[in-house]
Amino acid sequence: MKEYRDHYFLKAKRENFPARSVYKLQELDAKFKLLRPGLKLLDLGAAPGSWSLWAAQKVGSTGLVLACDLKTIDIALPPQVKFFQEDILNISPNFAEHLQQLGPFDLVLSDMAPSTTGNKFTDQTRSFTLATQAFDVACLNLKPGGKFVVKIFMGGEAQELLRNLKQTFAQVKAFKPKSSRAESKETFFTALGFHGATGGLKEQT
């Protein structure tokens, strides 16, 4: 773990965030004006909780953060955050019901990443699968005009996701935050101005 104890790691510890990834969201928010008081957002891949914690601070007590992850979150979260331990690739009826009841959302965030194998092609394919599922969930649960941020490991398949995003949103930008590790292949696609629900995407069950 020594190589990970960089400036952002130490800053997160000082500021009581569970992970350095919070600064990626802060950079995305500063660049694209994602968060504001009263916003309703969906946080996919929320563990260990840094994004949900920061988002909750930004949306305030009048906002809502619906968060989920395969792993649990051990930190205390404010009351405007509702967390579910959930497999986004196999959405449970209970979580689907909450999506319907609490949505549609102004913003969907996905910091989901696969368990890496060291094989870049396998890791890129798994990342693409998660990013595509996040895109499907966003299309089903965003308000018209809403925003979507998704992490993906860059590879050949990423261009397919980019094309789909450009067909569904008014504007799409690729952005790698400074707080991402230099060796990381991750990029965040930020899609603004959702056109509204379109056919052909998977329905929640």
Strand partners, 68: 44, 84
For 158, phi then psi, to 5°, come to -60, -30
Annotated active-site residue in 151, 166, 173, 178 = 151
- The Cα 136–Cα 154 span in angstroms is 19
Rounded to whole angstroms, the Cα distance separating 3 from 168 reads 39
Query: How many CB atoms are closer than 10 A to CB 80?
Result: 18
* Residue 31 appears among annotated catalytic residues: no
Neighbours of 51 (CB within 10 A): 28
Q: Taking every pair of C-alpha atoms in the chain, what is the biggest distance, in angstroms? A: 48
Structure tokens at 12: 């997160």
Residues that are catalytic: 151
